[in-house]
Amino acid sequence: MDYGVKASHFTPVGNALLYTLKQGLGEKWNPELRQAWVDTFRVVATVMKAHSFSH
């Protein structure tokens, strides 16, 4: 399956996601929550890259 995504898209999208979550969650945003989202996005990106760029 081709998502139409380039490898160069993942970093800015991940950064935008983290920024949006930080803004939306305000005081609830903390280092542990940030790391959980970084880890989650990394898994999603890894799976998407494996299916987009190897097939």
Domain assignment present for 42: yes
Domain assignment present for 1: no
**Which domain covers residue 29, as residue numbers?**
7-53
Backbone torsion region of residue 33, taken as left when φ is above 0, otherwise alpha when ψ lies between -120 and 50, otherwise beta: alpha
14-45 burial, b at 16+ Cβ within 10 Å, e below that, comes to beeeeeeeeeeeeeeeeeeeeeebeeebeeeb
Question: In this predicted model, what pLDDT tens digit does every residue of 8-37 receive, in sequence order?
Answer: 999 999 999 999 999 999 999 999 999 999
Q: Return the DSSP state at 4.
A: S
Domain count, the chain: 1
Task: Quote the pTM value.
Answer: 0.81
pLDDT the model gives residue 39: 98
